[in-house]
Structure 1
């Protein structure tokens, strides 16, 4: 009989294969995509951990190696989605300083639609569920609010530039303009998810109509 010392035990434990960061990220993405598909089909509230486990094709023990539970998956899914969307929206802000609100709304809403339309699901209808989750979970509310506030801050800076170069009126503050445009984008998301007939062009032309002066 061979007795293993504590050092020997540590040696064998250390030599066991570990999950690489690349493998971990791949598995997490697999699970999150499975969760998105479930959320798209059944909604966030109705989806269970068993649904996600089955959709991902993993065992329960494998699933819990990467996420603590459904709440963790929801938070991670929203966080990853907002981070990716932020990366795609930043260049639009940087390219709009010499343009105006109608061009901005066209570019932003088009990008949101393109980003949301995945091969097996669409994020726009799920966004409505995300807003519902924000009322239930303080951590999710803070996550989404932080994203919205960052977008509004960029919009405020952009609105100030538009006022300086005469693209828009200076009768109100850039902060008020930023809040209004943000509400317009969120309204676009809600309408698209519910009615399905909203377009970027309609919103662009709608904004332009407000700037037309009557004789």
Structure 2
């Protein structure tokens, strides 16, 4: 029997994840069956189940890829000296993550997929665990950016780095929720809004 190359295995896994993401985006997790996924990717049950035992594992793979993409973008930023300011940094991360990742055909479809994942983790402890672990690791990556700001002397040290990291994450999550629920959410809006908030100066008492 001919040996299957690692590249072929990864390409097949990619094909399955992308097809499942398209199905989940169109119909939601509960209305999508594994038969729907099989039809979408054009593979036999045996070929798909070689990689994933069912929908839960597919969803977990999508969650993991989304976290890896976001964390990677922030780790890249943390290596710059100094890192870009928060408005530019979040804009870069959102542009890196949102255009058509993990099989979604557009940014709006991908944001809807993310919100569905969040909702599904409230129902499934099996999915909630990797989401919590991904959230913990991502907070650590973002906190490294805060530490780099402090080392560059552009951010005071009187607020815990984790608090700042959580706030930046909340902005990104809020943008994704807005895009998914209401549409017409552009990264430029987040960049402009953060820049305005960062430029505020509290008048000194006369």
Q: Same fold (TM over 0.5)?
A: yes
* Displacement after TM superposition at 1:142 (Å): 2.1
Structure 2 residue corresponding to 1:105, chosen from 77, 82, 90: 90
Contact kept? 1:97, 1:161, Cα under 8 Å: yes
* Displacement after TM superposition at 1:48 (Å): 0.6
Counterpart in the other structure of 2:105: 120
Instruction: Tell me the TM-score normalised to structure 2 length.
Output: 0.82
Q: How far apart in 2 are the matches of 1:19 and 1:98?
A: 42
Matched, 1:213 2:201: yes
Structure 2 residue corresponding to 1:186, chosen from 165, 173, 183: 173
Counterpart in the other structure of 1:201: 188
Question: Does the C-alpha gap of structure 1 residues 32 and 157 become closer, same or farther in structure 2, counting only changes over 3 Å?
Answer: closer
Give the SS at the match of 2:183: coil
Task: For residues 95-152 of structure 1, give each alpha carbon's deviation from its aligned partner in whole angstroms, at most 9, with x where no partner exists.
Answer: 3634322222222222222354967353221001111221222232222222222221
* Displacement after TM superposition at 1:51 (Å): 0.5
Alignment map for 1:39-118 (pairs within 5 Å): 39-95=24-80, 97-114=82-99, 116=101
Counterpart in the other structure of 1:157: 144
Q: How far apart in 2 are the matches of 1:86 and 1:78?
A: 12
Counterpart in the other structure of 1:177: 164
* Displacement after TM superposition at 1:19 (Å): 4.2
Query: Larger Rg: 1 or 2?
Result: 1
Unmatched runs of 5 consecutive residues or more in structure 1: 1-15
Question: Does the C-alpha gap of structure 1 residues 64 and 106 become closer, same or farther in structure 2, counting only changes over 3 Å?
Answer: closer
Q: How far apart in 2 are the matches of 1:96 and 1:191?
A: 32
Q: Aligned pair count?
A: 200
Question: Higher relative contact order at CA 8 Å, sep ≥6: structure 1 or structure 2?
Answer: 2
Task: For residues 137-176 of structure 1, give each alpha carbon's deviation from its aligned partner in whole angstroms, at most 9, with x where no partner exists.
Answer: 2232222222222221122222233234442344422221
* Displacement after TM superposition at 1:93 (Å): 2.9
Q: How far apart in 1 are the matches of 2:85 and 2:91?
A: 10
Question: Does the C-alpha gap of structure 1 residues 96 and 49 become closer, same or farther in structure 2, counting only changes over 3 Å?
Answer: farther
Instruction: Tell me the TM-score normalised to structure 1 length.
Output: 0.79
Cα root mean square deviation, aligned: 2.5
Matched, 1:38 2:16: no
Counterpart in the other structure of 2:135: 148
Q: How far apart in 2 are the matches of 1:31 and 1:195?
A: 29
Q: How far apart in 2 are the matches of 1:118 and 1:69?
A: 18
Q: How far apart in 1 are the matches of 2:33 and 2:83?
A: 48
